[in-house]
Amino acid sequence: MYHEIHKMSRQGHSISHISEYLGINWRTVSKYLKMDEREYESFLTTTNNRSKELSQYETFVKIKLEKYPDTSSSQMHDWLKEFDENFPKVNPKTVYNFVMWVRQAYAIPKTKQEREYIIVEELPYGKQAQVDFGEYNMRTSTGGRKKVYFFAMVLSRSRFKYVFFSNVPFTSSQSVKAHEKAFAHFQGIPCEIVYDQDSVFIHDENKGDLLLTEIFKTYVNQRNFKIYFCRKSDPETKGKVENVVKYVKQNFLYNRSYFDLDTLNDEALAWLYRTANHQPHGKTKQPPQEQWEIEKAHLKAYAPMNFQFNETKTYTVRKDNTISYKSNLYTLPQGTWAGHGTTVEVFETDGRLNINDLKGNIICSHPVSPGKGKTIFNNDHKRDKTARINQMIIETAEKFDNPSNAVSFFELIRIEKPRYIRDQLQAISECFGTFRTEILNMSLAFCIDKKIYNATDFKAIATKIERETTNNPPDESVQIKTLPDRLANLDKLTPNASDIIDYESFMSNKN
């Protein structure tokens, strides 16, 4: 290790590069570089003769690091305490030093294990496009910094790209405008577009279930293209556009100065023409421009349309959870301000000021004040509703035979859908007026086992369990969302271990 560090240093590598390459702390690299060979030999003798406080755990740490080489010392500290309930109380630095010693002794650098992927066949021309957003801090001509936001769309087959910049985060209405610009650039519309679940196109309105924002839903219906939202844990589904976002940052924006928005968008179009769509693609080995000449014949016809939406503007939220609008302050619910840069979308309709988050969810509404210098309050915004929610969780959990499991289940729902926890609890509580307690206990166990944190699904599962345990056919006059037949074999005591993929497939199509 000592000789490798000095060798890399002589080759001109920096301390940080040597540290990252060898998987050791930069302080260790710096210390070794300051030693000559005689000093290093003396250091080794001292180190080898010094007993280590955690030496009894050497084998455990070695096995863990060999299996999971990217493990941090803090995580190893937790594993050690889990492995031995009598693990001594030591300083985290002691654990860190011991883990680094094991790494060096057994040559186990800290490297990330890459996931394995299977190559996907190319889609037909005109079949699909992918959309994503990015942001970047640019230098200004005066030496300052300016954050810009951009919308990127790429045709999956030809890799023909489009980029559009904005000074503010994209809202639903701004994203629709960006779509129109992209379709005009492509001279057509693909059959399907893939998005992230975290984009501005969906919101949690129906007790947390994913639904399209009103603006985007109206737009999709008029433009008539299919939409697909990839799962949050599956970014490879839209890897083509994520590569475009990275390409924009590293090739176009890197070391570019910001003058104004119009100039930036003009420069982006020029870059698309001369580089992004002109150079051969790394995988297809074909210039996207040439492939687009083939693909545009397979796109659906595009003609400009006039989409009328409420004119919205983005406002910054102040630390006291207010916004300044036309010389007046309007209050927002506690907790709206989430740090520097928190913004909301504002528009007027029928004498009221409507305030939404950037995904289109309604935050609150106030009557527009005709004066100036006033603060328009909503007393409900001052209330801390956390205590009441906690009480609801306890009261609902006590209805189950195992309140502790129920509380854990509700807390996970709160993490998944913090703004809709009250609706979720009310929906679950109402189930006790419809189902027997033992049925709901079984539904709770199934949801916990399969990591399903949704009141609507909880009720659907209870309906299925009740039908199977009582052998009573459902009333056809009542519209019930049922599970597929593949989950039908639930025994009388606990739900069976059905494949969650089947359930996810059903739930993804229920809307």
DSSP H/E element including 436: none
Q: Do 80 and 59 meet the contact criterion of CB atoms below 8 Å apart?
A: no
Residue 279 to residues 71, 96, 162, 282, Cα–Cα distance (Å): 40, 47, 15, 9
Supply the Cα-derived Rg of the chain in whole angstroms.
29
φ, ψ for residue 327, nearest 5 deg: 70, 15
pLDDT tens, 150-176?
Answer: 999 999 999 999 999 998 888 777 888
Taking the C-alpha atoms of residue 309 and residue 420, their distance in angstroms, rounded to an integer, is: 27
Strand partners, 347: 354
Give the model's pLDDT for residue 494: 45
- Please report where in the chains the tokens 């027997």 appear, as a residue: 436
Extract long-range pairs of 487-494: CB within 8 Å, 24+ residues apart: 488/464, 490/442, 490/446, 490/464, 490/465, 493/442, 494/442, 494/445, 494/446
pLDDT tens, 357-376?
Answer: 765 667 888 888 888 888 88
Q: How far is CA 305 from the centre of its chain?
A: 32
Q: Do 252 and 244 meet the contact criterion of CB atoms below 8 Å apart?
A: no
In SS3 terms, 98-154 reads as: HHHHHHHHHCCCCCCCCCCCCCCCCCCCCCEEEEEEEEEEEEECCCCEEEEEEEEEE
Residues in the chain with pLDDT < 70? Answer: 46-52, 112-121, 197-214, 231-237, 307-312, 358-361, 379-387, 419, 471-511
What are the tokens at 172?
A: 């639903």
What are the tokens at 223?
A: 């433009």
What are the tokens at 315?
A: 């406002």
Give the model's pLDDT for residue 382: 54
Give the model's pLDDT for residue 2: 83
Using CA of residue 213, residue 215, residue 218, residue 222, what is the dihedral sign?
negative
Give the model's pLDDT for residue 340: 80
Taking the C-alpha atoms of residue 328 and residue 324, their distance in angstroms, rounded to an integer, is: 6
Give the model's pLDDT for residue 258: 92
Give the model's pLDDT for residue 380: 60
What are the tokens at 181?
A: 């610009």
pLDDT tens, 220-234?
Answer: 888 888 888 776 545
pLDDT tens, 7-31?
Answer: 888 888 898 888 888 877 888 889 8
Instruction: Enumerate residues 6+ apart whose C-beta is below 8 A from 410.
Output: 393, 396, 397, 421, 424, 425, 428
**Angle at CA 124, nearest 5°, toward 123 and 130?**
55
Give the model's pLDDT for residue 290: 93
Q: Centre a 10 Å sphere on the Cβ of residue 451 and count the other Cβ atoms it contains.
A: 9
Give me the domains of the chain, ranges plus CATH numbers.
Answer: 2-106 (no CATH), 128-298 (3.30.420.10), 313-382 (2.30.30), 386-509 (no CATH)
Q: Do 32 and 40 meet the contact criterion of CB atoms below 8 Å apart?
A: yes
